[in-house]
Chains A and B, each alone.
Chain A
Amino acid sequence: MRHRPFPEIVTGERDWEVYEDTKQPRTDMTNKKMYVPLDGDCHKCGINHGRVIRRHELGHVKWSPKSFGKIAKGVHEEAIHLLEEVRVNHRLTYAGIPMDAPHTCLDEVNAYTRQLVEKGSITDLVKYGLASVFFIKKINYRGLWSTHYRRMKFEEYGYEYSSFIQAITDEIDSHTLKHSRVQDLEFAMEKISYFHMKMIHVSTKSHSITHKPAWARVKKLAIELSELFDLFNEKPQDDVRLSDDDKEKLEEALENEDDLNEAYEEAELSSPKDVAMLKSRNKQESNEIMFSYDDSKASWADYTMHKPALTINMNNKIRTGYTNVAKDRGVAPRKIHRYTVDRKIFTRKQNTYGGTILIDASGSMNFDGQDILDVMNEVPAVTIAMYNYYGWGNTSKKGDIRIIARNGRRVNDDYLDEHSGGGNYIDLPALEWLGKQAPRRIWVSDMQVVGFNGSGKENLQQCLDACNKYNIMRLADIGEVKSFARHLNVVR
């Protein structure tokens, strides 16, 4: 038996045509054509998937506009489609005819979600989640807090979304995924909830739920969603699973630590292991920050350069600071006195690790003299500078860049304590300064750059552009500097 829906009853208009299409159900509002499955119960699971699909398409007939109108530059049509799905599914629930059965077999949802966990980009995950996120019951109030996947009441959501979240939770709880992948999944789920809530909350300041979100909201949110699509469309390059050794480490850590993220930290599985991972992590983090920033115009302060006395000499503690190394072969003997000792009478200019490290000291960077020593042991010829901006009593309206270590010497700890903290405002000028210093250039920052106009996308983009232009590698903290400084270094 074929089940034909009745769009003409919904609209009261004539000339609707209904065609069978099981692969890509859709409704052409302009030409009054509906393409839906017309079959009955699924031969695999016994559920009539077509019924809810037909119901959903009728929802489009009822509430969707005939056309999307002019689509703003940069907005993906798919983003509009997905948000319209969210809106229509929500309205169906609040009209008393919810999508009360899955539109596809749940084992297929599970299998596809697991496939996305393995190979999907964050964008893929968000798209799949948004296509199915809706409440199955009428709920009038929902704080963001309770939309976190760990606190979610599955029975309140549509079957597919519950199955999707369950599959992701199971994957995370299997403790076989790399920490970065777990963070990807959590980020994707957070964003699905974010867009869902933005669509259905009465206002940005309210946690009350509107029964009738307007079409205008779709177009507005599509701008933001399209941006997410652009920023997070990269699929995982490497295996997302932990090695057997790392799995064991994580399991051991979990014996003492309940919090999964802490356990990853404890098992030392959080930090990037190589430069490729660093770059990937940096890209991910910058995208996340970019997504959270607003559209304010970039505006930066100027800076004052400080070269304080480097009163503490660390040369006696630094292991490898030589530039000319004795060799037993060469052209012109320069150390003839070594002939009787080790015959290394020749010298060759040894490449010495150095470069420049610029530390964003605006927040609490949490480093001290010992850290500087540790870094210098890795890259002896390094120059270390820090920058920040003090607002109170700052009549010059300038930030400060301070050289705090160079040539095996550093400032004392009091100086570090005294001048750390404050605001940013000179991130870009400081990076431009770094761009003129000796490579390898490292920027130690949380990338939460701030200009005079606040946290704007343009601020961050300018800083990222400067990093590309000057080949600056961003590291998250001084711990990463110790781990990667030598590896990253370009010898001089």
Chain B
Amino acid sequence: MSKKQTCWDLVSYAIGKSDRVLLYGPPGTGKTYSAVKHNAPLNINGDANVFQLVMTEESTSADLQGFYQIGENQQFEWSDGIAVQAWRNGGRLVINEIDHASPDAMTFLHAVLDDKDIAGITLNNKEKETVRPSEGFTVIATSNADPESLPQALKDRFPVAIHIDEIHPKALEKFPSEWHQAISDTSMTTDESERISIRKWDEFFKLQEQGLDLDIAGLIVFGDRAEELLDAIKLSEAE
């Protein structure tokens, strides 16, 4: 390989070609953005055929499989969960914060992420319908934690796991180019005390656009860290 491949190069190669991709790395880097937007599949109406959910400790397998709810005619109606919807539609299932999933949801994910030729779930509805993933079904999961923190069985179901160690180039585009490295470094650091989120950077520039001068915008957004930043800015502008 003559050119060093960035993580985003790898993401662009993997998404759309691999069925199960895990993107992991610090927050605010554009993992979810890529999972949702990159080569997004379209349905027959031309809309994005993407189904996404955020896992929390409160998430249950029902969120993925489906559940009964009272319908308009005051009768219980079955409603497919997000995973089943994605199966049926052959869409892209985006599971955010997969590492936060409850044991119940995680176990169900094993079934969702099974190899396509054996994957199948009999729904717990009245019809006891058995569903299988349709053609085109893919899963992209995102996590802030290292894959090692996932249960072995779940981890094994993501043959492609890409460490996101850079901010997505599109997220950086809105900032002046001389700031890219600083924004990237400060937002990617794993040291929480040093980290400056990309949202903070965004706000810093927005405040300046709204007429605040550099020093004030710096103080408002960065607090104690403003001096270091302002020194660097002044020096970058010095002859």
Contact = CB atoms under 8 A, between A and B. Distances in A.
In the complex, which range does the number of interface residues on chain B fall in?
A: 20 to 34
Given A2-B193, A212-B239, A16 B181 contact: yes
A476 interface: no
A205 B167 CA distance: 54
Interface stretch (B22-30, B100-108, B131-139, B228-236): B228-236
A58 B232 contact: yes
Contacts of A9: 178-179, 181-182, 229, 232-233, 235-236
B9 interface: no
Interface string B207-236: 000000000000000001101110111111
A181 B177 CA distance: 57
B238 interface: yes
Given A58-B235, A95-B234, A6 B224 contact: no
A1 B185 contact: no
Contacts of A14: 180-181, 184
A313 to B, nearest CB: 79
Interface in B55-75: none
Interface string B180-216: 1110111000010110000000000000000000000
A51 B227 contact: yes
A78 B179 CA distance: 34
B111 to A, nearest CB: 44
A2 B185 CA distance: 14
A2 B190 CA distance: 13
Given A12-B236, A58-B235, A97-B234, A3 B225 contact: yes
A41 to B, nearest CB: 10
Contact of A12 (B177, B224, B225): B177
B6 to A, nearest CB: 12
A5 interface: yes
A1 B193 contact: yes
A8 interface: yes
A410 interface: no
Given A2-B194, A8-B182, A9-B182, A62 B228 contact: no
A54 B228 contact: yes
Nearest to A96: B234
A58 B235 CA distance: 8
A6 B228 contact: yes
Interface string A1-26: 11111111111111110000000000
Nearest to A62: B235
A91 B235 CA distance: 10
Nearest to A211: B239
Interface centre among B191, B224, B235, B239 (most CB of A within 10 A): B235
Interface residues of A, number: 29
Contacts of A97: 231, 234-235
A9 B233 CA distance: 6
- Residue of B178, B186, B229, B236 contacting most chain A CB atoms (<10 Å): B236
- Among B177, B178, B228, chain A packs the most CB atoms within 10 A around the CB of B228
A78 to B, nearest CB: 25
Interface in A23-75: 40, 51, 54-55, 58-59, 61-62
B218 to A, nearest CB: 12
A97 B230 CA distance: 10
B191 A62 contact: no
Given A1-B193, A2-B191, A8 B185 contact: yes
Interface in B160-185: 177-182, 184-185
A15 B185 CA distance: 9
Contacts of B228: 3-6, 51, 54
B193 A5 contact: no
B194 A7 contact: no
B131 to A, nearest CB: 48
Contacts of A212: 239
A6 B232 contact: yes
A95 B238 contact: yes
B109 to A, nearest CB: 38
B224 A40 contact: yes
Nearest to A3: B228
A6 B234 contact: no
Contacts of B231: 5-6, 54-55, 58, 97
A136 to B, nearest CB: 16
A7 B232 contact: yes
A59 B238 CA distance: 10
Contact of A13 (B181, B227, B238, B239): B181
A59 B232 CA distance: 9
Contacts of A91: 238
A6 B182 contact: yes
A6 B238 contact: no
A307 B193 CA distance: 89
Interface string A409-426: 000000000000000000
- Interface-centre pick from B179, B180, B182, B186 (highest chain A CB count, 10 A): B182
Nearest to A18: B185
12 contacts: A3-B224, A4-B225, A5-B232, A10-B232, A12-B178, A14-B180, A15-B181, A40-B224, A51-B227, A51-B228, A58-B232, A59-B235
The 5 closest A-B pairs by CB, nearest first: A8-B181, A6-B232, A9-B232, A12-B178, A95-B238
Given A12-B236, A14-B180, 17 more contacts: A1-B193, A1-B224, A2-B193, A5-B228, A6-B229, A9-B181, A9-B235, A10-B235, A10-B236, A12-B181, A14-B181, A58-B232, A58-B235, A62-B236, A91-B238, A95-B239, A97-B234
